[in-house]
Structure 1
C-alpha cells in the first residue's frame, strides 16, 4: 500500500461521496423516526435521499451499517468538542467524551431508540466490534504512558468495558425513559466507576 495520500484530482470525488453518505444517513434517520427501523427499506432511504438504490447500497451495503454510522458520527462530534486527548488528563478527556455522547443520545430519544433497535435486529452487539475502540484504545495507552491509567490493565479491555457501559446505559435509558436517571447520569456514573478501577496504584511507602 502506498504511503502517498490522495492527489488533488481524487479529493472532489471523495467529498462528493461524503456528501452522498451524509444525505443517505439523514434520510434514514428521518424515516426511522417516522416509520420505525423495521418498516424502512433501503429503497425508501434511496428515494428520500433522491439517489439510486445502487448508490445507497454502495454506501451502506446493509441497513445495519446505518446504526454504526450513527455511533461514529456522535463519536466524531465528541472528539471535536473534547479537543486533543494529549492536552489534558486522560480520565477527564474520557469522561467528557462519553458525557457528550450521552447528551447526544438523550437529545434525540426516538432516533436513539430506533438506532438501538436496528443494532439489535442486525445482531450488531454480537457481529461487530464497538465503533469507539479506535478512539479509546490509543488514548488509554497514551494515558498509561503519562501515568493517568494503571499500566497493568490492558488498554483494549478498558476500552471495550467503557464502550459496553455506554451501550448498556443507552439500552437501559431507552427501555426505562420515565425512570429517575437521565442518560447522561447513567453514562457518567458507569464511566466513572470503570475509570476509578483503572487508577494507577499508589506507591507503597
Structure 2
C-alpha cells in the first residue's frame, strides 16, 4: 500500500494553496500592482515570512505549478525513443498541463492576462522558462547521449520552448479563447520540430 504525504507535507501543501487562492482573489479584486506580499499573507492567515518560505517573489505565486509542468516534460523526454519523439512528447505534456481547464479563471487565467501586460510577471516567466529549458536540455542529452550533445540539446529545446511561449503570448494578445491558444501552441511546437528535422 502506497502512503500519501505525511501530516507536515499536507499542511505545507494546504498553506501553499491558501497563498495561491488568496493571491488570485486579491489580484483579481485589487489588481496585481496594488496587492502586496503582506496583503496575500494576511488574506491566507500566515506571516509574510511564511509566504517567502513558499514563494521567493510575488510573481512566483502565479507560477506555483511550473515545477510540476517541467517534471512532466522531463518524464516525457526520458521515455521517448528518439530526440524528436522526446521533444514532441515533452511539448505535448507541458502544453496540456499549462492550460488545463479554463484559461479565463484561477491562476492560469490570471497568469495569461498578466503575462501579456505586466513586465515583472514577464521577467519572472522568462527566468522560470530559462531554468525549464536547462532542465529539459539536460534530460534530452542524458536520454540520447549518442545523438545530441550539450549544444544540440540546448538549441533544440530552446527553439521548441521559445516558439511555444512566444506563440502563446501572441495568441493571448490577440484575445484567442483557451482552445485556440492551445492549438496555436501545438502548431508552434510542430513547426519548431519540423525545422529541427
Structure-1-length-normalised TM-score: 0.68
Query: What residue in structure 1 maps to residue 112 of structure 2?
Result: 113
Structure 2, unpaired ranges of 5+:
1-5
Query: What residue in structure 1 maps to residue 23 of structure 2?
Result: 28
Query: What residue in structure 2 maps to residue 6 of structure 1?
Result: none
**2:90 and 2:28 mapped to 1: Cα distance?**
30
How far is 1:152 from its partner? 9.1
CA contact (8 A) 2:41 2:51 kept: yes
**1:98 and 1:128 mapped to 2: Cα distance?**
14
Q: Does 1:86 align with 2:76?
A: no
Higher mean Cα deviation, 106-115 or 155-164? Answer: 106-115
**2:46 and 2:117 mapped to 1: Cα distance?**
22
Change (3 A) 1:189 1:143: farther
Query: What residue in structure 2 maps to residue 48 of structure 1?
Result: 43
What is the number of equivalent residue pairs in this alignment? 183
Note the aligned Cα RMSD (angstroms).
3.5
**2:64 and 2:154 mapped to 1: Cα distance?**
21
**2:73 and 2:94 mapped to 1: Cα distance?**
10
Helix, strand or coil at the partner of 1:107:
coil
Query: What residue in structure 2 maps to residue 95 of structure 1?
Result: 91
Deviations 1:119-142 (A, max 9, x none): 622533565653422542233224
Higher mean Cα deviation, 112-121 or 26-35? Answer: 112-121
Query: What residue in structure 1 maps to residue 137 of structure 2?
Result: 137
Helix, strand or coil at the partner of 1:95:
helix
Deviations 1:120-172 (A, max 9, x none): 2253356565342254223322454476xx66962122222222223212221
Change (3 A) 1:26 1:151: same
Find 1:186's aligned residue among 160, 171, 184: 184
How far is 1:74 from its partner? 4.1
CA contact (8 A) 2:19 2:51 kept: yes
**1:16 and 1:115 mapped to 2: Cα distance?**
29
Helix, strand or coil at the partner of 2:46:
coil
More helix by share: 2
Query: What residue in structure 1 maps to residue 57 of structure 2?
Result: 62
Structure 1, unpaired ranges of 5+:
1-10, 200-205
Find 1:164's aligned residue among 142, 162, 165: 162
Change (3 A) 1:153 1:90: same
Structure with greater Cα Rg: 1
How far is 1:94 from its partner? 2.2
Change (3 A) 1:117 1:185: closer
